[in-house]
Amino acid sequence: MSRKKVIIFLLVLSILSACSTEPQSFVGESDHWKAELNTDEGEKGDKVDFVLKFNGSDGKSVSSVNYNVSGTSFELNSRDGKLNEEGVLRFEWPETNVEEDNQIVCTVEWDGQTEEFLLNK
């Protein structure tokens, strides 16, 4: 095998091994919010399930939620999200590449307030 083919093979192998194939779970909490992000292997990348829950006593008082979730290899966000009756907002992304992150940053904006917190494995 030529030297060039070996180098290309090693590069492709290192890129493939950097992609996550094992399910991952991240959880974090702030004064007003609790978030959980779970990944599972999909056909064209990781399937991501994100749940954001209001910790306050009255989730119905929250009119609109913006959030941004970012790790080493990805960034997901949503604007004008609405909480359900239990004060929960849930999103799924079918094709996102989430590498083996140890921490994910979550920023939540609602009713003129902002909180940023970490989601840890």
Domain boundaries, the chain: 20-120
40-93 pLDDT, tens digit each: 877 666 788 999 999 977 777 888 999 999 988 788 889 999 998 889 999 888
CATH number of the domain located at residue range(s) 20-120 in this protein: 2.60.40
What is residue 61's predicted lDDT score, i.e. its pLDDT?
82
pLDDT at 13 over 50: no
Q: How far apart are CA 13 and CA 53, in angstroms?
A: 39
Q: How far apart are CA 10 and CA 106, in angstroms?
A: 34
Q: pTM for the whole thing? A: 0.75
